[in-house]
Amino acid sequence: MLRKISISLMATAFVMTGYAQTEASPEQKPTTSEAAPEDDKPTTTISGSADTYYRYDFYKTKSNNFTSFTNSHNSIELGMASVKIDHKRGKVNMVADLGFGKRAQEFAYNDEGVVSAIKQLYVSYAPAEWIKFTAGSWATHLGYELVDPQLNRNYSMSYMFTNGPFTHTGLKADFTAGKHGFMLGVANPTDYRTAPEEGLNKKHFIGQYSIAFTENTKAYVNFVAGKAPDSSKANQIDLVLTTKISDKFSLGYNGTVANYKFKQANGNKYLASQNWWGSALYVNVDPVSWFGLTLRGEYFSDKDMIKVYSSEPKGGSIFATTLSANFKVNSFIIIPEFRVDNASENIFTDTNGSKKSTAGNFLLAAVYSF
């Protein structure tokens, strides 16, 4: 009942504010001979990116990769060609963000055909400066890393990004009050642009609280909860911290924990709560404008065998260290990267087919954005 009431209230607010904006009195409506207000003139921004990479696994196998977008060995791979159209007129904004390639396919893994090329597609309406309503599909608010490679300092992705949500499709409202920000929304099950069949279509609640301690130091607390199509109950809470100490040094942090309750086989009762969690620190150093380094250290725990260890005899953890350089020439970035993953159990495979607890690789990526 509370879930239905929440959806009804948010939908009513969206419709009423839209009605108040469009149904102005005759005195307020401009005649055809009057010029449109300056802030009502339409503006369109087009941006995009393209990336490609080469990855060499030191054990000469791609089976040692457990994170998104870089599942290859000794091969030059296409990442994603992306184009984003951002159109705004007055208080209404439309975003169509499309991606083509393996990166986009993995990001939209629940979709088929042309729909899998949609990274984001939404319309926003801001009746006032402190509130904005959004309907459609958008990239998740959880996590530190983003799907677009030019927006990350490391090219390979973290375990937390890989195993967390990618997208949400639904309705949300953003509120701002000084240094504080709030977001509340209702969405389809995580990563479903088209909701599953009736009976499995359980809506999820999403939320975010943000605070700007200073201009350079910010914090975000993110949340998502609901019932998955497999009838399991899931929730994830996520913390992101960013701080810029100087023009040459900045830090980022991401910590997250996801909890699940699965149903018993052939029963309606739920098993005890299980979880996976992770924590990562990002250290960014930029000695000159054209060169920077980022060291990512991530600890990922999967003791309940939900994600990486789901096919293993026992659960465990992974500590992954990634060092990436960024060489910049205008909008072009070259990223050489070394990565070493240390697991508590033997989950990696060496050149001879033997199981190992450590694996490493070298990656070279090229990213252009406009």
Cα 351 from Cα 73, distance rounded (Å): 12
pLDDT for 57 beyond 90: yes
* Residue (of 269, 174, 194) closest to 231 by Cα position: 269
Question: What is the 3 state secondary structure string of the chain?
Answer: CHHHHHHHHHHHHHHHHHHHHHCCCCCCCCCCCCCCCHHHCCEEEEEEEEEEEEEEECCCCHHHCCCCCCCCCCEEEEEEEEEEEEEEECCEEEEEEEEECHHHHHHCCCCCHHHHHEEEEEEEEEEECCEEEEEEEEECCCCCCCCCHHHCCCCCCCHHHHHCCCEEEEEEEEEEECCEEEEEEEECCCCCCCCCCCCCCCCEEEEEEEEECCCCEEEEEEEEEEECCCCCEEEEEEEEEEEEEECCEEEEEEEEEEEEECECCCCCCECCCEEEEEEEEEEEEEEECCEEEEEEEEEEEECCCCCCCCCCCCCEEEEEEEEEEEEEECCEEEEEEEEEEEECCCCEECCCCCEECEEEEEEEEEEEEC
pLDDT digits (tens, 9 = 90+) for 238-255: 999 999 999 999 999 999
Q: What is the pLDDT of residue 38?
A: 62
The encoded tokens of residue 338 equal 């070394």
Summarize the confidence of residues 112-140 as an average pLDDT: 97
pLDDT for 215 beyond 70: yes
* Residue (of 290, 295, 299) closest to 251 by Cα position: 295
Least confident of 111-115, 176-180, 216-220, 317-321: 111-115
* Residue (of 18, 20, 209) closest to 132 by Cα position: 18
pLDDT for 282 beyond 60: yes
Cα 73 from Cα 54, distance rounded (Å): 8
pLDDT interval class at 131 (50, 70, 90): very high
CB 113 within 8 A of CB 194: no
The mean pLDDT value of the chain amounts to 90
Summarize the confidence of residues 131-136 as an average pLDDT: 98
For the question of whether the overall pTM of this predicted structure is more than 0.95, the answer is: no
pLDDT for 347 beyond 80: yes
* Residue (of 159, 153, 150, 156) closest to 54 by Cα position: 156
* Residue (of 296, 284, 274) closest to 143 by Cα position: 296
pLDDT for 39 beyond 90: no
Least confident of 94-108, 211-225, 259-273, 286-300: 259-273
Calculate what percentage of the chain has a pLDDT beyond 70.
88
- 125 exposure class (CB count in 10 Å sphere: 0-12, 13-18, 19+): middle
